[in-house]
C-alpha cells in the first residue's frame, strides 16, 4: 500500500472518529423547562412537559396580533428592552427566542482582544442570569448569520463562541442554545458540528427556501439533527431581485407579498420533516431596509397589512375575517416600475393605483416621495430612517395624484399607502429617476 493511500485512509479514519463524537446524540435533560426531545429520528421542542410547535415571527412588538393570528413565538436579535418584551410576551401567552448579539467571525480584532471578549462574556452572563427564570424564555440564539469558517486561523472566534455556549448551558440548563447561518451552508454546518456545541442549528432563508428539502436530503449522510428557520419570507433587496436600469430594487405590492408568504409556507416549508421544529416569519413589525415597506408587515403606526391575515390562515387553517385592501399595481405617467421611469425635473407627474378589492371601504391614500438611499457598506442596505421629500393625502375616492417632480437629479421612489375604514393598509411603490437638464 502506498504512503499516499495510507495517509488518506488515516485521514478518513481520524475524520470519522471526530465526527462520530461530534454527532453523538446528547441525552436531553427531561427535567428542564424546555428541551429538544428525539424519538426514532423525530424531534420536538418540549416546553413545560408539553410538545411545542414553533409558529413564530421575528420582531419586538405586536404581541396581541401575533397571538390572535395563531402564532406562539417571538424571535428577537438583541436584548434591548428585553424585560418589557418578555413580560409582554408572557401576558399574551407567547414564548421568546432571545437573541444574544455577537460580532461575526471576520471581526478579528474583537476576538483577538482578550479584554473585549471578557467584557462581552460578562455582559451576556449577566443577561442569562437575570432572565433565565423568566417563564417567557424559550431558548437563546447566540449571534445572527454568523460565518463558521473552516480555517484554523479563526480559532479565537471558536474559543470565544464555545466559552459563551458553555457558559449559557452552565448558567441556564433549562433552555436550549441555537445560532443562525444564512441559507443552507454545508461548510458552516460541518464546522458547527465539528467545533461547536449548540442544541439546534437555525437558518435564515428567503429566496432559497424552495431548495431546502433537497439541501437537507443531500446532506443527510452527515447530519440529521433538528433545525429551525428563524427568518423566512419574501425576497429581499439583494442579488436575484429585479432592478431598474440604475440599480433600484423593484418591490412587490403588499398583495403580491401576501401571496408569496402563503405559497412559500404551504408549498416549500418542510412541515412534514420530523427534524423541523418551526419557523419565524420576517418581519413582524416595521423597519427600514432599502424602503420602509419592504419587509414591514405593519406600518409605523401599528396598522396591519394583508400578510397578517395570510399568516392567520396558514397557522390556524382558518381564513381571516378581515378584508384587507388589495393593490393590483401602480402607474407613474402610465408606466410601471419595470419600464424604467425617467422624469424631467420640476415638471408635473401623475401617479395612480389600481385596486383589486376594497374600493368601497377605502378611507384615504397617503402619497410619499423619497430620495433613494444609496448608502452601501459591503453590499448591505442602510437601515437609517428616511424623511420624505414630499407628502400628500387623498380621500378614498381619489386614486390619483398629480405632483411636481423633484428639482434635483437622482433616483427617487413614490409610495402609496391605502388605508381602509378599520386602519388596515395596502402599499406599493415605484422607483423613478429624475434626469438633469442637458
DSSP, residue by residue, 113-167 = -HHHHHHHHHHHHHHHHHHTT-TTEEEEEESSS----S-GGGHHHHHHHHHHHHH
pLDDT one digit per residue (tens) for the chain, 438 residues: 555 554 444 344 445 444 544 444 567 777 889 999 999 999 999 999 999 999 999 999 999 999 999 999 999 999 999 999 999 999 999 999 999 999 999 999 999 999 999 999 999 999 999 999 999 999 999 999 999 999 888 999 999 999 999 999 999 999 999 999 999 999 999 999 999 999 999 999 999 999 999 999 999 999 999 999 999 999 999 888 999 999 999 999 999 999 999 999 999 999 999 999 999 999 999 999 999 999 999 999 999 999 999 999 999 999 999 999 999 999 999 999 999 999 999 999 999 999 986 667 899 999 999 999 765 544 455 667 788 999 999 887 889 999 999 999 999 999 999 999 999 999 999 999 999 865
Phi then psi dihedrals of residue 223, to 5 deg: -135, 125
Structural domain includes residue 193:
yes
- From residue 220, alpha-carbon distances to 8, 39, 189, 215 in Å are 23, 17, 12, 9
DSSP class of 291: B
By the 8 A CB rule, do 413 and 291 touch?
Answer: yes
Count of CB atoms situated within 10 Å of the CB of 7: 10
Position 11 scores a pLDDT of 44
Output the nine-digit C-alpha cell for 177. Answer: 442554545
What is the rounded (10 degree) CA torsion for 87, 91, 93, 98?
-10
Position 85 scores a pLDDT of 98
Structural domain includes residue 12:
no
By the 8 A CB rule, do 110 and 164 touch?
Answer: no
By the 8 A CB rule, do 164 and 102 touch?
Answer: yes
Position 355 scores a pLDDT of 92
Position 4 scores a pLDDT of 56
Verify that 341 and 289 share a domain, yes or no: no
Angle between helices 186-195 and 3-22 (to 10 degrees): 80
Give every CB contact of residue 185 below 8 A, 6+ residues apart in sequence: none
Number of domains the chain is built from = 2
Count of CB atoms situated within 10 Å of the CB of 187: 12
Verify that 262 and 394 share a domain, yes or no: no
Verify that 139 and 92 share a domain, yes or no: yes
* CATH number of the domain enclosing 393: 2.60.40.1930
Verify that 227 and 359 share a domain, yes or no: no
Question: Which residue range is the domain that position 392 belongs to?
Answer: 326-434
Position 327 scores a pLDDT of 95
CB-hemisphere CA count at 13 Å for 190?
11
Position 47 scores a pLDDT of 98
Verify that 300 and 375 share a domain, yes or no: no
- What span, in angstroms and rounded, lies between the C-alpha atoms of 153 and 173? 31
Structural domain includes residue 80:
yes
Helix and strand counts by DSSP (H, E) for the chain: 10, 21
Verify that 89 and 207 share a domain, yes or no: yes
Verify that 307 and 347 share a domain, yes or no: no
CB burial of 207-219 (b: ≥16 within 10 Å; e: otherwise) equals: bbbeebeebbeee
- What span, in angstroms and rounded, lies between the C-alpha atoms of 316 and 172? 33
Verify that 372 and 244 share a domain, yes or no: no
Structural domain includes residue 413:
yes
By the 8 A CB rule, do 310 and 262 touch?
Answer: yes
Is 32 exposed, middle or buried, given 0-12, 13-18 or 19+ CB atoms closer than 10 A?
middle
Verify that 104 and 245 share a domain, yes or no: yes
Question: Which domain-ending residue is among 293, 316, 339?
Answer: 316
Structural domain includes residue 261:
yes
Question: Which domain-ending residue is among 316, 350, 383?
Answer: 316
Question: Which domain-ending residue is among 286, 316, 346?
Answer: 316
Verify that 154 and 33 share a domain, yes or no: yes
Position 378 scores a pLDDT of 41
Residue of 370, 368, 363 lying closest to 418 (CA atoms): 363
Give every CB contact of residue 438 below 8 A, 6+ residues apart in sequence: none
By the 8 A CB rule, do 171 and 125 touch?
Answer: yes
Structural domain includes residue 263:
yes
* CATH number of the domain enclosing 244: 3.20.20.80
Verify that 248 and 336 share a domain, yes or no: no
Structural domain includes residue 156:
yes
Verify that 283 and 365 share a domain, yes or no: no
CB burial of 250-277 (b: ≥16 within 10 Å; e: otherwise) equals: ebbbbbbbbbbbbebbeebbeeebebbb
Position 197 scores a pLDDT of 96
Structural domain includes residue 1:
no
Position 155 scores a pLDDT of 95
Amino acid at each position: 500500500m502506498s504512503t499516499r493511500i495510507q495517509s488518506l485512509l488515516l485521514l478518513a479514519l481520524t475524520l470519522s472518529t471526530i465526527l462520530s463524537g461530534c454527532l453523538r446524540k446528547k441525552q436531553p435533560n427531561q427535567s428542564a423547562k424546555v428541551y429538544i426531545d428525539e424519538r426514532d429520528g423525530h424531534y420536538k421542542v418540549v416546553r413545560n412537559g408539553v410538545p411545542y410547535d414553533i409558529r413564530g415571527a421575528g420582531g419586538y412588538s405586536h404581541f396581541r396580533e401575533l397571538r390572535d393570528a395563531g402564532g406562539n413565538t417571538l424571535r428577537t436579535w438583541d436584548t434591548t428592552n428585553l424585560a418589557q418584551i418578555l413580560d409582554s410576551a408572557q401576558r399574551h401567552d407567547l414564548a421568546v427566542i432571545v437573541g444574544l448579539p455577537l460580532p461575526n467571525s471576520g471581526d478579528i480584532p474583537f476576538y483577538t482582544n482578550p479584554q473585549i471578549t471578557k467584557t462581552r462574556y460578562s455582559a451576556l452572563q449577566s443577561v442569562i442570569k437575570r432572565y433565565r427564570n423568566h417563564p417567557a424564555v424559550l431558548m437563546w440564539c447566540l449571534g445572527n448569520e454568523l460565518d463558521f469558517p473552516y480555517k484554523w486561523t479563526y480559532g479565537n472566534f471558536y474559543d470565544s463562541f464555545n466559552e459563551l455556549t458553555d457558559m449559557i448551558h452552565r448558567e441556564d440548563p433549562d433552555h436550549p442554545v441555537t445560532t443562525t447561518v444564512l441559507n443552507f451552508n454545508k461548510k458552516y454546518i460541518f464546522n458547527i458540528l465539528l467545533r461547536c456545541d449548540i442544541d439546534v442549528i437555525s437558518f435564515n432563508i428567503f429566496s432559497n427556501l424552495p431548495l431546502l428539502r433537497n439541501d437537507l436530503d443531500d446532506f443527510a449522510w452527515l447530519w440529521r439533527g433538528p433545525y429551525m428557520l428563524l427568518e423566512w419570507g419574501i425576497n429581499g433587496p439583494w442579488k436575484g431581485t429585479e432592478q431598474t436600469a440604475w440599480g433600484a430594487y423593484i418591490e412587490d405590492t403588499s398583495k403580491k407579498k401576501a401571496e408569496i408568504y402563503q405559497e412559500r409556507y404551504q408549498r416549500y416549508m418542510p412541515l412534514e420533516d420530523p427534524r423541523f421544529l418551526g419557523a419565524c416569519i420576517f418581519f413582524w413589525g416595521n423597519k427600514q431596509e432599502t424602503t420602509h415597506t419592504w419587509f414591514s408587515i405593519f406600518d409605523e403606526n401599528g396598522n396591519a397589512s394583508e400578510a397578517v391575515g395570510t399568516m392567520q390562515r396558514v397557522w390556524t387553517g382558518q381564513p381571516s375575517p378581515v378584508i384587507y385592501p388589495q393593490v393590483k399595481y401602480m402607474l407613474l405617467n402610465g408606466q410601471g416600475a419595470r419600464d424604467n421611469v425617467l422624469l424631467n425635473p420640476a415638471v408635473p407627474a401623475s401617479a395612480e393605483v389600481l385596486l383589486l378589492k376594497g374600493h368601497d371601504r377605502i378611507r384615504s391614500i397617503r402619497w410619499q416621495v423619497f430620495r433613494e438611499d444609496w448608502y452601501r457598506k459591503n453590499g448591505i442596505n442602510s437601515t437609517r430612517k428616511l424623511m420624505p421629500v414630499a407628502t400628500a393625502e387623498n380621500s378614498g375616492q381619489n386614486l390619483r395624484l398629480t405632483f411636481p417632480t423633484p428639482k434635483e437629479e437622482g433616483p427617487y421612489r413614490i409610495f402609496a399607502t391605502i388605508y381602509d375604514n378599520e386602519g388596515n393598509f395596502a402599499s406599493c411603490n415605484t422607483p423613478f429617476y429624475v434626469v438633469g437638464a442637458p
